[in-house]
Chains A and B, each alone.
Chain A
């Protein structure tokens, strides 16, 4: 207002300044956006749609560059480029893959950056994505529906393990191709078992046996702190999810309703809280914090009798110089139930808003299809990874790797977390009440009823929109 008012009065000279202002602004704006563009490209931010499909320098060769975000730096970045991406680019000279490390945030393995990039309409073209979040994100319309592509390319759900494929499907549409996968089992320390007067070759078959055996291994030092512990139900992969399934509980019924307060889930939580009470949670936490902060897996310190953990832990063997005998077996279920496990893992998605869906699909199809999965599984550093494709695992005879069979068997029949728009909310809620229960803040029944109420509220809110 003021500027215009003055211009009007002050005649030509200042009047001429306005266009100058304009040009100056434009120059500044161009400089700023120009800078930011090259800047983000350098750090691997949100280039992508900014460069447009096949525009610019790529146009001559008709090469499409797709932006691929992944959450692990280091080995994955190096090996995946070398053994998979390079092969893909050789096969598809018309597509180039730009790999960008974008870390996950929080305990659900989601990424704030991916989230805001999708919301901002400028997402990468492909992302490596925690499978159990597909339901939540697909419900919000943020993932590209891959169903037509999958049908056209002849990929069959049977190419993947059934429980795992289930995680990629939301409301009858497929939003991802599954990839690396993991399951859980019980590791046991034979030396500690022997010292406690147990037979080191017969690990516990039921939770009741586990409790009895573990009890004999808790040893306190002079300072009142534990020198060794038998078992802590929430250590490492011992989440409420894990234990609920071991107790024969369920998280959803046959109609797809969520059932966090299933009676067996309640028993599981009370059982976890029982350990906290019996062995004193503060002293237990002291112990696990103490070991945890050394960066070492508590089990490999030789001070833990039993622990529930994933197959990737087998890879640690190379890292640590292990001085004791150990074994691994199925997680013991509650009496009267069958041993079980649960699978988590990763998948490749195309975020909604990608402007190069066709090229992105070519990439997803390759890396998560048989060829790419095989290339990845055959890499020299593969260790004890499990792929989502039974045919690949069979062909490479992964079950013959010592100790890996238990984990591979687990995938076939294992549980996966319910596919629901409130998947990550439910996960966080279970973590919350697990923490409250072991600190004596409410009974299993109270806490899980509350979870049920909260989850239902969230669902009602989502359905009412």
Chain B
């Protein structure tokens, strides 16, 4: 329709466009821009958009990677809802997300506040806390397996010095997820960097003014720093939630993909991976991927809707 209209008014529209539109030179520039962006756009289409649509399609088939598979309608989804391990993996993933993400924010912000203090060796401390983010997750896992080793580990040794008999950590059903959260918190360095940037952004005037008003340190943190940091917290909350829902490397390495003990470490993406690559049920795995996608969309939407209540943007009221 639009095309017909355009061709009808070709001359007039050209005239209008030429008059208030871009000059020839500008158009040439934008064309070059397109050319340079083309590889990226092609890549996006080829490696992101196309697979996305294919996975939606495959979720309705019995695709096995090695074979095309046939159309099975909603069967994959129906089977999923009856699949016990699927529900266990959802429970584990939500458990991890709802405990890890808030803790990582509290921990990250506190750390950022400490690292923002003007003391000697500030750079050194900042580096120190960022280093874990540079270590490959697999290496982190192995280090922690040593630290949390029930019999020879340093953690239980210290606990033993205090007269506490440490748990079996990763080996026990009750402690496996808390252990994982502990390990994950170790890698908050990346978020801390973003919090630090946010802290730098808060104008000094506010603090000076509060000083005049006689506010103490805690009051300053409570009424100036935290409110003005909320946009950054909001960002980290969303990224952290999305990341936590896709938790994979740590539990996979820890349990060799088995989710032991007793499925307590079977996380959603791990189960998705097992279905796709171990059982060759890629259709089923695709269905899982789409359910995860919806879950991420819903949780992100909830966080977005909540931002009116607690996120403060400067210059906006």
Contact = CB atoms under 8 A, between A and B. Distances in A.
Contacts of A136: 280
Contacts of A380: none
A223 interface: yes
Contacts of B153: 290
Contacts of A112: 277
A105 B278 CA distance: 9
Interface string B265-278: 00000000010011
Interface in B10-34: 10, 14, 17, 24, 27-28, 31, 34
Which label, helix, strand, loop or mixed, suits the secondary structure of the A interface?
Answer: helix
B160 A223 contact: yes
Contacts of B34: 3
B152 A21 contact: no
6 contacts: A13-B24, A25-B35, A119-B65, A285-B261, A286-B150, A436-B263
Interface string B113-138: 00000000000000000000000000
A35 to B, nearest CB: 12
Interface stretch (A4-12, A82-90, A95-103): A4-12
A293 B278 contact: no
Interface in B61-85: 62, 64-67, 69-70, 85
B39 A14 contact: no
Given A3-B31, A106-B277, A286 B65 contact: no
B92 interface: no
B27 A110 contact: no
Contacts of B165: 223-224
B47 to A, nearest CB: 12
Contacts of A223: 160, 165
A107 interface: yes
Nearest to B38: A25
B178 interface: no
A439 B279 contact: no
Interface in B152-168: 152-153, 160, 165, 167-168
A119 B6 contact: no
Given A10-B24, A115-B277, A137-B66, 6 more contacts: A3-B34, A119-B65, A140-B66, A141-B67, A435-B260, A436-B263
B171 A285 contact: yes
B258 interface: yes
A14 to B, nearest CB: 7
A171 interface: no
Contacts of A5: 6
A38 interface: no
A431 B278 CA distance: 13
A382 interface: no
Interface in B235-278: 256-258, 260-263, 274, 277-278
Contacts of A106: 256-257, 274, 277-278
B30 to A, nearest CB: 9
Contacts of A9: 10, 14, 17
A119 B280 CA distance: 11
A9 B152 CA distance: 78
A288 to B, nearest CB: 8
B59 interface: no
B31 A428 contact: no
Contacts of A105: 257, 277
A10 B26 CA distance: 12
B28 A17 contact: yes
A116 interface: yes
Interface string A10-37: 1001100100010011001000100000
Contacts of B151: 225, 286-287, 290-291
A3 B37 CA distance: 14
Contact of B168 (A282, A294, A428): A282
Nearest to A17: B31
A285 B172 contact: yes
A46 interface: no
B145 interface: yes
A165 to B, nearest CB: 24
B170 interface: yes
A290 B152 contact: yes
Q: What 10 A-B pairs have minimum CB-CB distances, sorted nearest first?
A: A290-B151, A439-B262, A286-B150, A140-B66, A285-B171, A286-B168, A142-B66, A289-B171, A119-B65, A106-B257
A258 B28 CA distance: 69
Contact of B146 (A10, A107, A225, A293): A293
B280 A140 contact: yes
A257 B248 CA distance: 36
A118 B111 CA distance: 48
A142 B65 CA distance: 10
A424 interface: yes
Contacts of A441: 262
Contacts of A465: 62, 69-70
Contact of A119 (B66, B258, B260, B278): B66
Nearest to B66: A140
Contacts of A137: 66
A435 B263 contact: yes
A461 interface: yes
A208 interface: no
A441 B262 CA distance: 8
B17 to A, nearest CB: 8
Contacts of A431: 258
B227 to A, nearest CB: 44
A238 to B, nearest CB: 15
A10 to B, nearest CB: 7
